[in-house]
Amino acid sequence: MSNVIKSTRSLLDQGLIGRLRRDCQADWTQFTNHRFIKELALGTLPKNEFQQYLLQDYLYLLDFCRVEALAVYKSRSFEEMQYFSSVLHDLLHVELPLHISYCREWGIQQEIIDNTPKTLELLAYSQYILSKAMQGDLLDLIVLLMPCVIGYGEIGLNIISDSESKTQNNPYQSWIDMYSGKEYLEIIQKTVTFLEKICTKYGVEQRYLNLLEQFQTSVRLETAFWDVGRANPL
């Protein structure tokens, strides 16, 4: 497990993703060190705030799937189509069903899941990534989603490496375990590796500032998303 952690942290410091993170470091730090995360790590986050976060995260994942479906359509090669269709399949048939089960563990019934509207924070985030994904190509699309994909893993690793985190009787330990676990870290590695692979094909330097703007905006919207539960507790 320690090797996976080391290799993941190293990978996130390299290539395009490392450059993007460094060039919006202040925003990235606010995202990964948000009040929501600190309270979750200590086990003090209010339950009803976490429940609303789970509901909104489910709705976000539906739009994440829509972006991945766009990626299949926008693919220029069979290999790209295979990659994104595999990601979409796992989201629809593994991650989303698991998320629904996790909601139920937190006392959120299917009727509530089906009838909860998007908050303003999620509406802003979803509309941004969907509109940009429709306008751009595969590189734009992946960069838009990377703050979510890699950010959760970095947050999970930061929590387990922080001596102040509560590891015993923390009601949110399963969430922490999920995003600091080997399986999720391997997803990050696979995604970042694919991103770096297509950089040459789609070109980076001539459009880097635009990619940075999209990445940074997604980071800021992710940061705002942490507050969905406080503003709209279940």
Instruction: List the CATH number of the domain containing 219.
Output: 1.20.910.10
Q: Band of the pLDDT at 28, cuts 50, 70, 90?
A: very high
Domain membership flag for residue 92: yes
Domain membership flag for residue 234: no
Q: Is the pLDDT score of 3 beyond 90?
A: no
Domain membership flag for residue 105: yes
Helix (H, G, I), strand (E, B) or coil at 70: helix
pTM, full prediction: 0.95
The predicted model gives 138-158 an average pLDDT of: 97
Q: Band of the pLDDT at 58, cuts 50, 70, 90?
A: very high
The predicted model gives 168-187 an average pLDDT of: 96
Domain membership flag for residue 118: yes
Residue range of the domain that includes 122: 2-229
Q: How many domains does the chain have?
A: 1
Helix (H, G, I), strand (E, B) or coil at 107: coil
Domain membership flag for residue 93: yes
Domain membership flag for residue 26: yes
The predicted model gives 124-133 an average pLDDT of: 97
Pairwise CA distance, residues 12 & 21, whole Å = 8
Domain membership flag for residue 198: yes
Q: Residue 183 class from Cβ within 10 Å (0-12 exposed, 13-18 middle, 19+ buried)?
A: exposed
Domain membership flag for residue 106: yes
* Dihedral sign for Cα atoms in the order 102, 103, 105, 109: negative
> Nearest 5°: phi and psi at 172?
-105, 15
